[in-house]
Chains A and B, each alone.
Chain A
Amino acid sequence: MPDHSAAADFLATDLTGALALASTATDADVDRALRASRRSLADLGALLSPVAAGRLEEMAALAHAATVRRFGRMVRLFAPLYLSNECVSTCTYCGFSSGNEIARRTLSPAEVAVEARTLTGRGFRHLLLVAGEHARIVSKDYLVECVGALAADVPSVSLETQVWDTATYRRLVEAGCEGLVVYQEVYDRDTYASLHLKGKKRNYDWRLAAPDRAAEAGMRSLSLGALLGLEPDWRSDVLALAAHASALLRRWWRCEVAVSVPRMRPAAGDFEPVRPVTDREYVQILCALRLALPDVGITLSTRESPAFRDAAFKLGVTQMSAGSQTEPGGYAEPGGAEPQFEVSDTRSPAEVAAALRAAGYDPVWKDTIGARVSDADPAQSRH
């Protein structure tokens, strides 16, 4: 692990006290955490504890107020654009896993541009390019080409693919990539090893340090995530995620940092969540994360139901996907390939935006000055 990296800082973070509080916090511990003006990871532990579950309404009120003060009554909307479901990794929970007999497809850069036009036509200005892990088919050059194909028409392009080295991230930034999304999926090393059976994704440390490499390469925004349901003890996963995010905020102080904690959804391969997270627990997680990390973005995915999203987004959420298709080519021509997972909120982007407006919130489609560019040629800029 490189020195002076958030990954190293995270691994050196002692979470023992916070983990203990997550299971044994008393009412007094929760009181202290709720009253604190700046909250530590120990406070987060207390807020994730079973005792804090009895204080959910208080937590929700504080989380809502903190979000409005920091971000306003607004939610940024984005769409995932799946480039390819080819994958050489075997990950037991993922629909794209290499062992699964599914229809595979990789979009050409021209097809990617068609998908993007469909999405910009629906209002989106923030797109997240997603692909399985296949270094030959979904290669560095291919990704640079895809990002470049969108640069002129899409104000904000982010990437969620296999993780790369710093030089590749630099090429992607130069092509117009603004942000990186990396799910560590699960932070416990043993659980991680038991789920990631084959492929580059087995290398926990290389993945953990990907946001550091992206930040070094000039990515403006870094998003982390844990997939809830893989780890029997969700409290330890959420604490680790928050510790990793805190380390990134401190080490890469110029970057915007966001976190995401989607719950497992059914996918090809029939993986059953080890420990499903209930709605009440999920709300507790969202509120606790917002209170412990008041400045980070929190993403809420279409894996959640419309009813849940319409109620829970006020408790800390800053960005949401909408109208998502998780199969490559699914926007322009749905049905041609296997999706990564089943979407639960199937409403159109316009319907999601209308629901936000009805709740007194502004759906924000564009909020970016684009990727960091080193020259000042207006023809290259994409504000």
Chain B
Amino acid sequence: MQDALVIAGREFGSRLFLGTGKFPSNAALEAAIVSSGTEMVTVALRRIDVTAEEDILDPVDPGKVLLLTNTSGADDAEEAVRLARLARSGGYPTWIKLEITPEPRYLLPDGVETLKAAEILCREGFTVLPYVNADPVLCKRLEEVGCATVMPLGSWIGSNQGLRTKAALEIIIEQSFVPVVVDAGIGAPSQAAEAMEMGAGAVLVNTAIGTAGDPAAMADAFRMAVVAGRQAFRSGLPGVGRAAEASSPLTGFLN
């Protein structure tokens, strides 16, 4: 069955996006990109150094995957916009993962600044994929200013705690006209499958793969989980029974 993910008019064959932090080497990153089957890879502008002998961009083949630069490290809208413009002037794709995380401990996103930056960048023609808290109203506001997706967190970055925000994610998925990419906190393939079963458009995974004992094998495990979760969603999951079924009908006396 035809089931491509479409973001801003571009088709993606894989619903698993990969972050590039925390990998032990470029070789490990390259192997994980291949075995994940991903077609979208996000790289922090703060890590790119084209003057270096070896750069984090080396394993990213632009013929095979879309490079999604991100504004990690930006404290406010002004800094994020500055970084995005630099990325464009540096010749990178104009797809930007908007990350404004002024608090470096949990890297939680600042919704106020994110909306401000998204408005500016969408107006300037960027394809904007914002990382946000699982806030349904903020997600609608971002959609209205022209963001190509919304990327709410499952739990905070690097925590591997899974879908702590599930109730809010369900509302976001229900209300969104743009793909919902669950980003951050997904620590195991089962959690990725859970997000896909809920109807997420895609998931973005980094820590769980980058810090695994065998990142390439873990990337493959996530690939399968995302495919399985998506197929389950498309196949119509039976609902979970919420109450015991009485052996004698409780309303039988009405007949």
Specify which of B22, B25, B81 is in contact with A376 (CB 8 Å cutoff).
Answer: B81
For A, the interface residue count at a CB cutoff of 8 angstroms equals 34
> Which residues of chain B in 162-182 are interfacial with respect to chain A, using CB atoms and an 8 Å cutoff?
none
Q: Is the CB of B52 within 8 A of A365?
A: yes
Whether A366 lies near B47 (C-beta < 8 A) is yes
A93 and B52 alpha carbons, distance in the complex (Å):
38
A357 and B25 in contact, given A69-B211, A376-B78 (Cβ under 8 angstroms):
yes
Stretch of A226-234, A252-260, A304-312 with 4 or more beta carbons under 8 angstroms from chain B: A252-260
Asked if A361 and B86 make an inter-chain contact with CB atoms under 8 angstroms apart, the answer reads no
Residues in B whose Cβ lies below 8 Å from that of A155: 49
B104 touches A255 (CB 8 A): yes
Is the pair B21, A72 in contact by a Cβ cutoff of 8 Å?
yes
**B135 lies within 8 A of chain A by Cβ:** no
| Of B22, B75, B102, B103, the contact of A74 (CB 8 Å cutoff) | B22
Residue of B nearest to A357 (CB): B25
**Would you call B47 and A364 a contact (CB within 8 A)?**
yes
Q: How many residue pairs between the two chains, A and B, have CB atoms under 8 Å in the bound complex?
A: 86
Q: Tell whether A273 is near chain B: CB-to-CB under 8 Å.
A: no
Chain B proximity of A266: nearest CB distance (Å) = 35
Chain B residues with Cβ below 8 Å from A74 are: 22-24
Question: Is B210 among interface residues, defined by CB-CB distance under 8 A?
Answer: yes
Q: How far is the CB of B54 from chain A (nearest CB, A)?
A: 9
Residue pair B211, A68 in contact (C-beta under 8 Å)? yes
Assess whether B93 is interfacial by the CB under 8 Å rule. no
Specify the chain A residue showing the minimal Cβ separation from B47.
A367
What CA separation (Å) do A220 and B75 show in the bound complex?
10
Contact of A72 among B23, B46, B104 (CB under 8 A): B23
Q: How far does the Cβ of A133 sit from chain B's closest Cβ, in whole Å?
A: 30
Q: Is A29 an interface residue (CB 8 A)?
A: no
Q: Would you call A369 and B74 a contact (CB within 8 A)?
A: yes
- B104 & A368 in contact (Cβ 8 Å cutoff): no
Q: Which of B21, B104, B160 has the most CB of A within 10 A?
A: B104
The A interface, classified by DSSP as helix, strand, loop or mixed, is: loop
Asked if A104 is at the interface of the complex by the 8 Å CB criterion, the answer is: no
Chain B residue numbers with a CB within 8 Å of A255 are 104
> Given that A69-B160, A72-B211, A378-B89 are contacting pairs, would A254 and B46 also be in contact in the complex, using a CB cutoff of 8 Å?
no
Check: A275 CB closer than 8 A to any chain B CB. Answer: no
Beta-carbon nearest neighbor of A366 in chain B = B49
Contact partners of B82 in chain A: CB under 8 A? 373, 376, 378, 381, 383
Note all chain B residues with C-beta closer than 8 A to A368: 46, 73
CA distance A295 to B24 in the complex (A): 19
Q: Point out the residues of chain A lying under 8 angstroms from B83, CB to CB.
A: 369, 383
Q: Please give me the residue from chain A that is nearest to B90 by CB atom.
A: A383
Distance in angstroms from B71 CB to nearest chain A CB is 8
Residues in B whose Cβ lies below 8 Å from that of A125: 49, 52
Interface string of B92-136 (1 = CB under 8 A from A): 000000000011111000000000000000000000000000000
Are the C-beta atoms of B207 and A372 separated by less than 8 Å? no
Q: How far is the CB of A239 from chain B (nearest CB, A)?
A: 20
Residues A72 and B207 in contact in the complex (CB < 8 Å), given A123-B52, A362-B25, A368-B73: yes
Does B66 reach chain A (CB closer than 8 Å)? no
Q: Do B24 and A73 have beta carbons less than 8 Å apart? A: yes
Kindly supply a per-residue 1/0 record for chain A positions 347-383, scoring 1 wherever the CB is within 8 Å of any chain B CB and 0 otherwise: 0000000000100111011111100111010100101
CB within 8 A of B46: which of A70, A253, A369, A374?
A: A369
The distance in angstroms between the C-alpha atoms of A254 and B113, with both chains bound, is 14
Instruction: Verify if A71 is at the interface (C-beta below 8 Å from B).
Output: yes
Contact of A369 among B24, B25, B26, B45 (CB under 8 A): B45
Kindly state whether residue A249 has any CB partner on chain B within 8 Å. yes
- A152 vs chain B, min Cβ distance (A): 13
Which residue of the partner chain B has the closest CB to A156?
B46
Q: Which residues 69-89 of B sit at the A interface, judged by CB distance below 8 A? A: 73-75, 78-79, 81-83, 85-86, 89
Contact A366 B160 (CB under 8 A): no
Closest 10 CB pairs of A and B: A72-B22, A73-B24, A295-B105, A366-B49, A369-B73, A256-B104, A369-B46, A254-B102, A360-B24, A68-B211
Name A residues whose Cβ lies closer than 8 Å to a Cβ of B.
Answer: 68-74, 123, 125, 155, 220, 249, 253-256, 295, 357, 360-362, 364-369, 372-374, 376, 378, 381, 383
Please, could you name 20 A-B residue pairs with CB atoms under 8 Å apart, sorted by A? A68-B211, A69-B211, A72-B24, A72-B211, A73-B23, A73-B24, A74-B23, A253-B102, A253-B103, A254-B102, A360-B24, A362-B23, A362-B26, A367-B46, A369-B74, A369-B79, A369-B83, A372-B79, A376-B82, A383-B82
17 new A-B contacts at CB < 8 Å, known A74-B23, A366-B48: A72-B23, A73-B23, A249-B105, A253-B103, A253-B105, A254-B102, A254-B104, A295-B104, A360-B24, A365-B49, A367-B47, A368-B46, A374-B78, A376-B82, A378-B85, A383-B45, A383-B83
